[in-house]
Each structure stands twice: as C-alpha cells, then as structure tokens.
Amino acid sequence: MRSAGRRWHYLLFRWALMLLLLAVAVGLGYALLSLPQQAVGLSEQVSANMATSGVQNPVTAVLLNFRGYDTLLEMAVLLVALLGVWSLGSAEVHRKIDPEPVLSLLVGGLAPMMILMAGYLLWAGTNTPGGAFQAGSVLAAAGILLLLSSKRFPVRLMGWPLRVVLLLGLGTFAAVGMTLLFVSGGFLQYPSSLAGAFILFIEAAATLSIGVTLAALFLGGRPQAGPYR
C-alpha cells in the first residue's frame, strides 16, 4: 500500500513530467514553424543525376545507387536483429497439430498470390513505386502465413540453406560493391550503362533476404523442424 507522502510524490512527478513534455512539444513546434516555408532539399541533385542512375523511380535510385551504402548497412542491421533473437533461444514448437481445412485452403490460395505480388513489386520498383523493401515485406507476409498455418517445414531447409538465404542480400551487395571498388575505383559506383542491371540483381537478392529475415524474426527464436506455436 502506498503511503500518502509517496502518493503525493507520484502526483508531483506526473505533473512535472507533463510540464517538461509540454515544453518539449512547444520547442519542437517552434523549431518546425521557424523553418523556411520552402526548401529545395536534395531534390535538385536527385533529378540532375537520374539519367545516370539506371532506374526511373527516384526512391529506388536513392536507395540503391546514390545512398547505396545506407541500404547495405541496413541489411546488416536486419541480420543483427535476427542474431539477437536467435541468441535468446529456439522457437517454440507446437505440441499438437490440428488440421484446419479452411485455413489450408486460404493459405494455399493466398501465399502464391503474395509471392507473385512480391515479384511484381520488385520488378516494378525500377520505374514506379515499389522495390526491394516493399517486395521483401510482402514475401515475409507470405512466409508468416505459412508459419501460422502450422505447415511442417522440412528439417534440411532449416540448417545451412536458411542461413545462405539470410546472408544472400548482404553478401551480394557487399560483393558487388567490392568488385566495383576494384573495377571502377569507387564503392558501389556502377558504370551508368549497366547500373540498371546491377541494381535489379542486388534488389532480387535483397528481397529474398529481407523476406526470409522478417519471417524468421516472426518465429521469435532459432528455428527447429516442426509446426510453430
């Protein structure tokens, strides 16, 4: 039971916190309002270099070409998050499997559609909205749907094949970058005639890795063979 003094302290803490956060909000608002009404940002540089980027979608150009190393390091972040989850223990395996006909029918129809959608987003990402991250997320959703439907995954896929796919994105990205470092003298400096092909190649590998990494993160532990709970 909380004594009257403690309770008073608690209320004081609440009010002090509210005042402090009000000050933070007002400060943030003032900072935002005092910014210039119009700013060009980096849009001029982006549009000036679009011709040499190898793709038509400016967001993909920024992600895979102009700031490619950002995306490379993000793949590493995803991998580190997965390593963190795996180091906490192995995934729980469900004790009993109850076959659910409606769910299997749904998953059997939807999962292929999602994989198709992921492929479309990856392909379309070069000139319309889309790209590796979106495609990877859709792929991960297909994987999660399969995991949720208690499909039994083959044991032999849970060992090194899984790890190869997890590393594929980061590996391809780094390998292409290093090769270009020796060939053209700059890390991830694509020759402009081949830039589109390089970007699509890296994105395809990245999509697979992002999809499998996110689905593995959903599992919440090192995978074993079996239906998951």
Q: Where are the alpha helices (DSSP H) in 94-154?
A: 101-124, 132-148
Residues 28-47: x/- map of binding to other proteins (CB under 8 A)? xx--xx-xxxxxxxxx--xx
Beta carbons of 60 and 126 less than 8 angstroms apart? yes
User: Is the alpha carbon torsion for 81, 82, 87, 92 positive or negative?
Assistant: positive
Binding status of residue 174 toward other proteins by CB under 8 A: no
DSSP string, 58-83: HHHHIIIIITHHHHHHHHHHHHHHHH
Q: Which of residues 112-171 bind other proteins (CB under 8 A)?
A: 113-114, 117, 121, 124, 128-131, 133-134, 136-138, 140-141, 144-145, 148-150
Least distance in Å: CB of 142 to other proteins? 9
Side chain identity, residue 52: T
By beta-carbon proximity to other proteins, the closer residue of 83 and 183 is 83
By beta-carbon proximity to other proteins, the closer residue of 199 and 214 is 214
Binding status of residue 84 toward other proteins by CB under 8 A: yes
Binds other proteins by CB under 8 A, chosen from 53, 55, 78, 202: 78
Least distance in Å: CB of 179 to other proteins? 23
Q: Which of residues 189-208 bind other proteins (CB under 8 A)?
A: none
CB atoms within 10 A of CB 6: 10
What six digits make up the tokens of 189? 């400096």
